[in-house]
Amino acid sequence: MEGSGPGSEVVGSLTIHELCDCGESGSVELPADGGPPIQRGRLERASRASGEEFDACVVEVLGEAPRRVGAAYLRARLGGPRWKLLGSLRRLIAAGVVERTGVTSGTRYLLRRAG
């Protein structure tokens, strides 16, 4: 039976692997933004990371994003201060890895696909 409640699309898309491999802390959080589950292990790893290691976490999250996403979507999955995320996004945009559209609260980010 198909559900139609909040989060039903996300829950319906979970695989057994995602349910069993919930990261280092063993928990997954279903976000209110309709995106993929927030992996606590990755959130903890990203909050401790810096530089290229943090940039790799940003790319990983953008690669899983269902559409162009705002900074709030990324911060929910990466943690840390706002300046850390924005610095990473600036580096990734300059490197041609991430595409930015919009301004102020309408700013959205998308991982550029190779090809």
Residues 6+ apart with CB under 8 A from 23: 39, 40, 41, 42, 43, 44
CATH T-level topology, domain 8-111: Arc Repressor Mutant, subunit A (1.10.10)
* pTM metric for this prediction: 0.71
Q: Give me the pLDDT at residue 35, please.
A: 75
Please state, in angstroms and rounded to a whole number, the distance separating the CA atoms of residues 43 and 25: 10
Q: Give me the pLDDT at residue 34, please.
A: 72
pLDDT, tens only, 59-71: 999 999 989 999 9
Q: Give me the pLDDT at residue 74, please.
A: 94
Q: Where are the domains of the chain?
A: 8-111
Angle at 55 between CA 95 and CA 42, to 5 degrees: 155
Please state, in angstroms and rounded to a whole number, the distance separating the CA atoms of residues 38 and 70: 15
pLDDT along the chain (115 residues), means of 10: 63 60 57 78 91 96 92 92 95 97 94 79
Contact predicate 69/59, CB 8 Å: no
How many helices (H) and strands (E) the chain has is answered by 6, 4
Q: Give me the pLDDT at residue 1, please.
A: 46
Please state, in angstroms and rounded to a whole number, the distance separating the CA atoms of residues 101 and 70: 10
